[in-house]
Structure 1
Amino acid sequence: MSQPSSWPLPSGSSRVVLPLKLTQQLAQHPLTKHLYPRAYGHYVDALGHQVERQSHTDYLLIFCYRGRGWFRTATTQGSLEAGQLLLLPAGQAHAYSADLQQPWSIYWAHFQGQAASTCMSFLGLTETQPVLTLSQWRTLIPVVTHLLNLQTQRHQFTAAVVAASLLQQIIAELPRLTVTVKEPQGFELAALERFMYDNYHRDLSLADFAEFAGLSRFHFSKKFKQLTGTSPMRYFNQIRVKIACQLLDSSTDSIRHIGQQLGFDDPYYFSRLFKKTMGMSPQHYRDSASLRAVQQLPKGV
């Protein structure tokens, strides 16, 4: 395969390269042989990211969501701006780089499969016009996040099958995201809430939610409070506490471990937030839930 660049990863970035044995399994399995990832990742503010390949065995998808960069092939060259996707076919020599002044932030994937060669025509791209502009790309963020979160299980075949299905879903959705629509006056609360649920395990900030909504932090906070009556961060933390309650009810994990699953590295902060939201500590909640369960048992059991 064409190896991903060895460019040093900055904070917040990730790179997953599936082992050869695993990709060989994907190439043969009925659920994945048509299209499957060989490597994928997320580069944030990728200053210094630059690649040149004379031989190229994989198909390569690069989506720029912030900043900009440039690319060059034997048949064309150009820039890649925020909101644009570049698809390079297998067998085509190429070079690309992040801009020095406004380095791109990108999602990318090397992929193969029996149907990989049809992706260019499916997306309406050619070797001389390999760039697609996506006007509604934010709706794919939950799927992309799910794919990236699989990296901790990347050596497991079942997780790799899920990764292949998510990549197929992303590519299948792309044509619908090119439709030009009038800029919304606000944002879709349901999509933002789904993003919060999909990322409950991450320590997200107001800037992350504002970026997802496509608004400045000020306008996002104002619009969010108008719609919900509360602040974005309080809403997000309420979701995490709700999930914490479910975990306290259904598992025997320690309170520290549950807090870590929800993105809280400080167990004391997690306990304070839980108590502020629920009116009792996590341990008190667990004890009272156990007591209620015992009281509800049929007599004689």
Structure 2
Amino acid sequence: MQLTSNWPLPTEGIRFLTPQSLCDQLAANPLAANLYPVAMGYYPKASQHQMVRNQHQNYLLIYCTDGRGTLTIDGKHQRIRAGDLILLPKGQAHSYASHSRYPWSIYWLHFDGLAADVFCEHLDFNGPIQSVGLQPRLVAGFEALFSLRNSGYNLASFIHGSLEMQQGISYIALQVRQQRSKSGKQIDLDAARSFMNQHLHGQLNLETLAAHSKLSKYHFSKRFKALTGHSPIQYFINLKMQHACYLLDVSTQSVKQVAAALGYDDAYYFSRLFKKVIGLSPDQYRKSKHR
């Protein structure tokens, strides 16, 4: 099966395949086995670029940074525009093509690994195409991975590249969630977090938080937990305890004073909350800095 297209590569284009022997070494290495690059590239203004795969033996991530294209899966055609990410899992038959009048520019990465499917699930795309906008950090991540072309197929360099890939996919997962939170289908997490930070010195209840996001308490709580993994009130408490750590680190304030600065009149109650979240009492945390 043909791994990459035979699109004529221009001088500024990139197409780089990891040798099979090196893929085997990465698959056997505990640091890289979960996720490693199989092939990667950059096709600028890729006029007449197209690809058809009836069998796909690894995972493919494409990032369109300019122009347009189409993706076809199960006979359904979907448009691709600048700022779109395309994720195609192993085994998914597909075809895609650059627009004839507005050819796309794309970064692409074939990858595999024991945890590749888990990383794909973590991305949490709504279908094969997810819009994240033009992200310089994503481009920088691809460009950094391209440095493997000059490594002489050094195993240590590819292990490092594999770990960078994990970080890059984790970053994409964050961007997907942030974009979704601003789409109108979810809450604006940045705004909710900012509102909480403005009230670290006091108390907030679920009704106030939901009203700030213009949602019912039920929908706000449900959507907030889906985005963060925590209930809104627990998230607010976590922010308070993080700020408490900062105050314990940078000041000589007593535990009672720190508690009061965060809106807790009862220092004992504050200490119990702190230990529940941080795992140490405030006094233990302060002493642990000097170990």
Structure-1-length-normalised TM-score: 0.56
Alignment of 1:182-193 (within 5 A): none
Kept after mapping to 2: 8 A contact 1:67/1:81 = yes
Residue 155 of structure 1: CA displacement?
A: 1.6
Residue 160 of structure 1: CA displacement?
A: 1.3
CA, structure 1 residues 2+25, in 2 after alignment: closer, same or farther (shift >3 Å)? farther
RMSD: 1.9
Q: Quote the residue 2:63 is aligned against.
A: 63
Q: Quote the residue 1:143 is aligned against.
A: 141
Partner Cα separation in structure 1 for residue 98 and residue 51 of structure 2: 9
Kept after mapping to 1: 8 A contact 2:66/2:81 = yes
153, 156, 163: which one aligns with 2:154: 156
Rg larger in 1 or in 2? 2
Q: Quote the residue 2:99 is aligned against.
A: 99
Residue 76 of structure 1: CA displacement?
A: 4.1
Partner Cα separation in structure 2 for residue 135 and residue 23 of structure 1: 32
CA, structure 1 residues 151+58, in 2 after alignment: closer, same or farther (shift >3 Å)? same
Q: Quote the residue 2:34 is aligned against.
A: 34
Q: Quote the residue 2:279 is aligned against.
A: none
Kept after mapping to 2: 8 A contact 1:2/1:56 = no
Kept after mapping to 1: 8 A contact 2:65/2:134 = no
How many residues matched? 180
Q: Which amino acid aligns with 1:67?
A: G
CA, structure 1 residues 163+75, in 2 after alignment: closer, same or farther (shift >3 Å)? farther
Residue 123 of structure 1: CA displacement?
A: 1.4
Q: Which runs of 5+ in 1 are unaligned?
A: 182-301
Q: Which runs of 5+ in 2 are unaligned?
A: 183-291
Q: Which amino acid aligns with 1:99?
A: H
Does the alignment pair 1:88 with 2:85? no
Runs (4 or more) in structure 1 with deviation over 6 Å come to none
Per-residue displacement from partner, 1:124-144 (whole Å, max 9, x unpaired)? 126xx1111113621233322
Partner Cα separation in structure 1 for residue 149 and residue 17 of structure 2: 9
Q: Which amino acid aligns with 1:95?
A: S
Does the alignment pair 1:47 with 2:57? no
Kept after mapping to 1: 8 A contact 2:56/2:93 = yes
Q: Which amino acid aligns with 2:169?
A: I
* Identity percentage of aligned residues: 35
SS, match of residue 149 in structure 1: helix
Partner Cα separation in structure 1 for residue 87 and residue 75 of structure 2: 14
Q: Quote the residue 1:166 is aligned against.
A: 164
Structure-2-length-normalised TM-score: 0.58
Partner Cα separation in structure 1 for residue 139 and residue 69 of structure 2: 21
